[in-house]
Amino acid sequence: MNVVVCVKQIPDPASPGKLDPSTKTLVREGKLVVDDSDMYGIEMALQLVGTAGGGEVTLVSMAPNNETAGLRTGLAMGAAKAILVSDDSLKGADALTTAKVLAAAIKRVNPDLVIAATESTDGYTGTLPVQMAELLGFPSITFAKSVQVDGTTVKVDRQTEAGYDEVECPLPAVVTVTAGVVEPRYPSFKGIMAAKGKPVEQLTVADLGIDGGVAVTQEVTDVVAAEARKAGEIVTDEGDAHERIVQFLEQLKVI
């Protein structure tokens, strides 16, 4: 079974993010790292291929400046190869443009299953995976908290607010996984060294031959600071704190 994992390479979350004042989008120059939320998808894919007893995991990414550092992390974990689309014309790309690019890159691999995170952690809409599924003509299942492949069917426990639904659909399909679907392995030293020899195919938009090309049509008109969270209510204990906390929780209907 061949699985594609969409991997976003993002500015290191440890260093504070910056917005480009002219485009009002996130500055992505400099070193990028693999988005932590994609580590779960990579691990899930490696486990599914392992269980299937054959096939390989391919990482697909779109990133500026031919950045491969984040892909190397996934290759070090055990993915077989990667495809990177890097093109100046994609600067500031919106979700739909990115979906078109990724879908075109994924088609080249002809996978049985495509895995993505439910959303990325830097700048995100959470809409990309389903747009991509539509462009690929694949069914999609979102918010998977467990994934199993049975022959030509993928079976998923889909996280909901109340619990989870058991759903399934035929392959090929797109599945988005939540954090916690599996525990990602650590890239090992041997894995890192082996990753250096693994192929990363570097493509431009022209190489992808997308029908009608791509044009970045989204414009960010304004950016405002998120509303500060309201201060919580402080209960000072005068012997009856437990009762007041219970009352408060009852009001909120949580108990």
Binding site for other proteins (CB under 8 A): 31, 33, 69, 72-73, 76, 186-193, 195-196
Could you tell me the smallest distance in angstroms from the CB atom of residue 232 to other proteins?
A: 17
Could you tell me the smallest distance in angstroms from the CB atom of residue 118 to other proteins?
A: 21
**DSSP three-state, residue 178:** coil
**For residue 103, which of 135, 130, 129, 125 has the smallest C-alpha distance?**
135
Whole-angstrom distance, CA of residue 153 vs CA of residue 8 = 27
Q: Which is nearer to other proteins, 69 or 220 (CB)?
A: 69
Q: Which is nearer to other proteins, 190 or 230 (CB)?
A: 190
**DSSP three-state, residue 77:** helix
Could you tell me the smallest distance in angstroms from the CB atom of residue 19 to other proteins?
A: 21
Please state the three-class secondary structure of 186-233 as a single string. Answer: CCCHHHHHHHCCCCEEEECHHHHCCCCCCCCCCCCCCCCCCCCCCCCC
Q: Which is nearer to other proteins, 74 or 172 (CB)?
A: 74
Could you tell me the smallest distance in angstroms from the CB atom of residue 42 to other proteins?
A: 13
Q: Which is nearer to other proteins, 196 or 253 (CB)?
A: 196
* Residue 9 backbone zone (phi > 0: left; psi -120 to 50: alpha; other: beta): beta
Q: Which is nearer to other proteins, 77 or 105 (CB)?
A: 77
Could you tell me the smallest distance in angstroms from the CB atom of residue 69 to other proteins?
A: 7
- Contact assessment for residue 49 and residue 1, using Cβ atoms and an 8 Å cutoff: yes
List alpha helices for 29-159, DSSP H.
Answer: 36-52, 69-77, 95-107, 128-136
Q: Which is nearer to other proteins, 195 or 214 (CB)?
A: 195
**For residue 4, which of 129, 97, 90, 182 has the smallest C-alpha distance?**
129
Could you tell me the smallest distance in angstroms from the CB atom of residue 113 to other proteins?
A: 25
